[in-house]
Amino acid sequence: MLLGARAACVLLLSCRAHDSLPRAEQSPSGVVAPPSFQVIATGSACPGLSDIGGAVAHGVRQAAARLKALGFVEERPLQEPALEQLLAEVGRRRDAPIVFLYSGHGLLTHGDGGLRVDACPSTGPRCYSEACLGEGDENVRFDDLVAAVHPDTPLALFLLDACTSADVDVRTARTNVSVMSTSPFLLNVDTSPEQGTVLSRALARLDSTSVDPNCDGEVTDLELFGTLSGRIEQGRLGQAVPKLRRQVREPVPLLRRRPAPDCVALPHPMEGPASERIEGDPVVLRLSVAAAADGIDVDGKHYPREVLIPTACRKPTGQCFRLPEGFR
C-alpha cells in the first residue's frame, strides 16, 4: 500500500532588509520563549503496511539536526505515541511558534465510515488524511491534530512527512495553523534506512540563509515551504507533490534570525488571489489564506459552509473545496 517516505513544499514572500537583531517571543511572565519543534515518529507501527521504521528514525535525526541549526529548540520527541498522549502534547499551550514534524505512514479514508482508499474519489463524501499510530488500527485524522492546537499558541506548523497527507481541513484550527504535506498521493520511493525520508533529505539540503529569501530577518511558513519545495524530489510518477494549507489570520513568523551581511533579497512573488473558482469537473473553490466560519465568497457569490467539501488542491498552496454534484 504505502511504499514511501515523505516531504514538505513551494512559495516565497515579502521584501525588506534590515540589520537589527531579530526579536524573540515573550511569554506572559516575561520569559523569552524560543520557537520549538517536536518530532512525532510512527514508522514501524502500521498494520498491513511496510516497516519504514529505519528510514523514519534516520530521517527524523537528520531533520532534527537541521531544525536545531536553524534556531528551533527540540521538545521531547514522541516515538509511537498513543492517541491520548499525542492529542495532549499537541494541545499543550506554547508561548512561541511550534513545528510538529510527523514522520510515518499516511493513510487516506473516504467518508465517515473510515473506508481506506488509495486515491480520493471526485464525488461523494470527503476524504480524510490520517496518521497511523499503532496496532489495532488506531489512527488519528490530521484534522483532529489541527483542532487540538491550543488557541493561545501563536502559530503551529505541521510538517507531514507522509504519503496521502494533503486531505486536511484547516478550518478546524483555533489559532494560526499551517500544514505542509508531502503529497496527496501514494509515494514510491526508496525507504531503506540509510536514505532517510523525502522531507529529511530536503531539510538536509537547506542552508541558513535560504530560509529567509527576502532578507527581512523573519522566516515565515510560506518561505520555508518555498525553500523546501525546491529541494524535494518531485516531478515523476510516485514522487512527492508538496502542498500547503493555511489558516493564518495574522502574519506570525516561525523564526527570527539576523540576516547574513551579504543577503540579497529576492523579488516579491505573488501568492495569488485570496479566493478563486477553478473550473473543471468537479468545480473547485480555492482559498489562499483563511476560510471564514460561515462560508466563502468567490467572484461575488457566497458559498455557505455546509456545501463546501474539503479536498486536496491541484495547486501547491491554498485550502480547496469542491461543490456537491449539481451545485454551481
In the chain, domain spans:
25-269
Per-residue pLDDT in tens (0 to 9) along the chain, 328 residues: 334 333 322 222 222 333 333 344 554 444 558 999 999 999 876 878 888 889 999 999 999 999 999 999 999 999 999 999 999 999 999 999 999 999 999 999 998 888 899 988 888 899 999 998 876 557 899 999 999 999 999 999 999 999 999 999 998 899 999 999 999 988 877 777 788 888 888 888 887 778 888 888 889 998 899 888 888 877 666 778 899 988 888 778 999 888 878 877 776 544 556 678 887 777 888 877 666 667 788 888 888 888 888 888 777 887 888 888 767 6
Q: Hey, what's the torsion of the CAs at 197, 201, 204, 208, to 10 degrees?
A: -110
Class of residue 204 by CB neighbours under 10 A (exposed 0-12, middle 13-18, buried 19+): middle
Strands (E) across 118-247 are located at 127-134, 138-141, 156-161, 177-181, 218-219, 243-247
> Please, which residues have CB within 8 angstroms of residue 294's CB and are 6 or more apart in sequence?
304, 305
Is the pTM higher than 0.75? yes
DSSP result, 284-317: EEEESS---TTEEEETTEEEEGGG-EEE--SSSB
How far is it, in rounded angstroms, from Cα 287 to Cα 272? 9
Helix ranges (DSSP H) in 91-241: 142-148, 198-204, 221-229
How far is it, in rounded angstroms, from Cα 307 to Cα 310? 10
Tell me what pLDDT residue 90 has. 97
What is the DSSP pairing of strand 127-134 with strand 115-116? unpaired
CATH tag, 25-269: 3.40.50.1460
How far is it, in rounded angstroms, from Cα 55 to Cα 163? 14
How far is it, in rounded angstroms, from Cα 192 to Cα 201? 13
Tell whether the torsion through CA atoms of 266, 272, 273 and 274 is positive or negative.
Answer: negative
Tell me what pLDDT residue 157 has. 97
Nearest to 56 by CA among 251, 197, 223: 197
Tell me what pLDDT residue 235 has. 64
How far is it, in rounded angstroms, from Cα 221 to Cα 13? 10
Tell whether the torsion through CA atoms of 216, 219, 223 and 229 is positive or negative.
Answer: positive
How far is it, in rounded angstroms, from Cα 254 to Cα 34? 10
Tell me what pLDDT residue 142 has. 96
Give the DSSP H/E element, type plus range, for residue 101.
strand 98-103
Tell me what pLDDT residue 1 has. 37
Tell me what pLDDT residue 4 has. 38
CB 223 within 8 A of CB 215: no
